Every structure is written in C-alpha cells, then in structure tokens.
Amino acid sequence: MSGNAWPGMLPLLWKLAITLLPVLVGASSAAAREPTDIESARPGPALDCQQCHGELELLRQHTRSLAEARQLLAFEDTLAASAHAGLTCGECHRGYRVYPHPRRGATLACGDCHRSADSAWTAGVHAARKDQPVLCRSCHGVHDVRALAGHADTAGVAAMNARCLGCHELAALPPSSPHARAVACAACHGSHDVDPIDAAAGRLAPMLQAGTCGACHDSIAGLWRGDAHGRAAARRTANPPGQAPAPPTCTTCHGGHDLQSAAGAGSRLVELDRCAGCHESYADRFADSYHGQAATLGSAAAATCADCHGGHGVLPAADPHSTVAPGRLIDTCRACHPAADAAFVEFQPHVGPHDRARAPFVYWAYRLMTLLLVATMSLFGVHAVLWMARRGLDRFRAGRAPGSDADPAQGSQP
C-alpha cells in the first residue's frame, strides 16, 4: 500500500475505533468489577438495590409469578427496622453488585454468621424433618428479622408465637391461660434447640420441668424442690419403662397448654381432680365430707386440697413444718374458722366408714345403718314376695270356681 493511501484510510479507522471503543471499555470494566470468587468478594452497595427491589411492579415484569416477585421485594423501611439494619445488601447477597446480575451470585446461609444458633438448630427437632425442615426464615422471616430485644415485649411475643402457630395451630393457648399473650413458646420449648415433647432429656421431661418453669417461677420451684413431691422427684433422675410414673411435677398439677389461673372459677374443681389422680383414696373420703360436697356444688368458701396442705410446700403431717402438723393445725384451720381451738381440730376430714381405728364412731354408725337398711329392705322384699304369691293363689282359686270368669278383686256383678 502506497503512502498516498493512508490519508484516505484515516476517516475509516477513526469510525471503527469510535464504534469498538465502548464495547472494549465495557467488557474490560465488567471483567474488573465482577469477582472471580463470590465468597471473597468485598461487600458493597455498588448499585441502589431499592431501585429494583423496592418496586413490586418492576419485579413482576421480570419474574414468572407474583409470588416470586414478592420474594424479591425488600422495602428500605423494613430493612431499617430489622435486626440487620446495620448490614448492606451485599453482605448477605454476594456477587450481585453489578447489573445485569451474574449467574454466579449467591446468598449466604444464616449459619455462616450465626454459627451457634445453627448448631443448636441442627440438633433440634425442626432440622430433623429431612423431607421438609423448618428453616430460619420460617420463624424469623427474611428481611423483617426482629432483634432479640424485640421479642421481650408483648408485640414481640405475639409475633413470634404467631409464627409457631402457623404450623402448630392446635397448640394455641386458650384466652383464659395466664401464659397467653405473655409467654413466648420458646420460653418453655426452647428456641433453636427445640426438643421433641416426649424427649427423656428435654426441657419438659418430668424430672427437668422445675428448671424450665423455674426460669420464671424461681421461688415456687424452690418450694417444690423442698416439699414431698420435689423430694420424691430428686430421688429419681429418669422414668424408665416398667417403673411407676414419675412423682408429680409442674404439668401434672397445673397442666400444659390447658393451664388455668389459680383465681379462675373452675380452678378449684380442677385441683381436686388432679390431686385425686394420685391420692385416690383420700379424694374419695374427701368427697363424702362437708368440704368436698360444698366444693363440688361450687362453693368458693369450702376448703380444697391446697387450702389445708399448701400448694407447693406440701409436706407429710409428721413433718413439723407441714401445715397439717399437729403443732400448726390450729393456725391452718383458723384461716377459714377464726374460732378454731384444740377441740375443733380433732375433726378428721379424711376418715372413712371403713377406718375403725381412727373413727370408731363413724365405723359402727355405718355398720349399724347398713344393717338396718339391709334388714328393712329384706323385710319389704319378703313381704312383697308373699303378697304376690297370695294374690296369685287367690286368682287361681277364683278361676276354678263355676261361673266365675271375672276378676275376683272386682266382686260379683248384680
């Protein structure tokens, strides 16, 4: 090519350079910005994510369904009020700092930052469902994650319990429960390391309930540990198959989700029924007493089990600290009967008609009345049999007499 041809080629070369320059610059810039290793990419808001992820209409145009678009929606106000308010989008969503987003972008797992919670979750019952595990977002949400302090108030408790009821709808507490709207499910069942309800070493296992309930009711748990029920439980560390049931613990007397307030209208009858589950013979004799009959009829003044024996500080009568010990019995009765004296407390509320040693008068009165009843009914029975036999004999004789077809009791017709 001669030197005279170069001046004619310059305009063509300039046009070619101007055409290719944006393509080359864009390719080199994209290569420089896109990380080669997603996990080592430094997080940073290279884009204003809200321009796309704050607009549902725009997301709907680039997704296959409205549900998919809603999953990608993240309002700035929601993020600012969450526990992750101090984080940028890129700290969880790696490799999306440029648009269009590269295919190699990824979202970190919650366990990458919350390792202890992830380990507890892995050991819990929610992770054990391999077919459909309960993931972090099922309970905590995605962009609206509450801070730990946000679960302490009434609104936080209600929000977290609502998440639990999304799966456990039959476990909702009745409105009359003292725990309703005040206690989070996690307070009793755990948060991340939730145990099966029948786990031998779980929080609600009979031998471990005092520690779980005692987290809130520490003084009551202390009384229980020192009374007859707690001492019996301390002698056992488990309830192996084939042995007698475990001694009464919190849920034995108070129930679980059907817990009632001690001031509730029906709590006294529930108390009698649950005490009777272990103390059946005492309950039968109590039901025959004045206290038992009045309480069954709904009297709020009649004494029930806890009024005399105490609720959590239950001790045998032989223990001098017991409320029914001989030295303290007058004070216990005076709670309802101010004029009670030594003669008054000689009354035996649990004696039955078969206890000859403790209540001979009741024993012999029961025997005498039983004998009188049996003799009277036997006499009436013999009398009825003899009367029916005589009546039948009279009918038979009257039927055999000539011309007497009528009932002999009706007499003869004129």
Distance CA 80, CA 61 (A): 26
Q: Where are the alpha helices (DSSP H) in 341-359?
A: none
Per-residue pLDDT of the chain (414 residues; tens, 9 = 90+): 555 555 566 666 665 655 555 545 444 444 444 444 433 444 444 468 888 898 999 899 888 999 999 988 998 888 888 999 988 888 898 888 888 888 888 889 999 999 999 999 988 888 887 778 888 988 898 898 988 888 888 888 998 999 999 999 999 998 888 898 889 999 999 989 898 888 888 888 888 899 999 999 999 999 999 999 988 888 775 455 455 666 888 998 898 898 888 777 678 888 898 999 888 888 888 888 889 899 888 888 889 999 999 988 899 999 999 999 999 999 999 999 999 999 998 888 888 788 888 888 888 999 999 999 999 999 999 999 999 999 998 888 887 666 555 555 555 444
Q: Report the DSSP pairing between strands 106-107 and 93-94.
A: antiparallel
DSSP 182-209: TS-HHHHH-SSSPPPTT-TTSTTSGGGH
What pTM does this model have?
A: 0.66
Instruction: Give the dihedral of Cα atoms 288, 258, 180, 230; nearest 10 deg.
Output: 80
What's the longest Cα–Cα distance across the chain? 168
Angle at Cα 287 formed by Cα 284 and Cα 291, nearest 5°? 140
pLDDT of residue 66: 92
Find where tokens 């610059």 sit: 25
pLDDT of residue 268: 84
Length in residues, the chain: 414
- Comparing C-alpha atoms, which of 53, 205, 84 is closest to residue 150? 84
If DSSP states are collapsed to H, E and C, what string results for 229-276?
HHHHHHCCCCCCCCCCCCCCCHHHHHCCCCCCCCCCCCHHHHHHHHHH
Residue 93 phi, psi dihedral angles, 5° rounding? -105, 95
Tell me the residue type at 208. Answer: L
Find where tokens 């005692």 sit: 214
- Comparing C-alpha atoms, which of 134, 31, 42 is closest to residue 94? 42
Q: How many CA atoms lie within 13 A of 356 on its CB side?
A: 2
* Residue 76: alpha-carbon gap to chain centroid: 36
Helices first, then strands: H and E counts in the chain:
19, 2
Distance CA 264, CA 336 (A): 20
Residue 270 phi, psi dihedral angles, 5° rounding? -65, -40
Determine contact, residues 120/194, Cβ cutoff 8 Å: no
Distance CA 17, CA 23 (A): 10
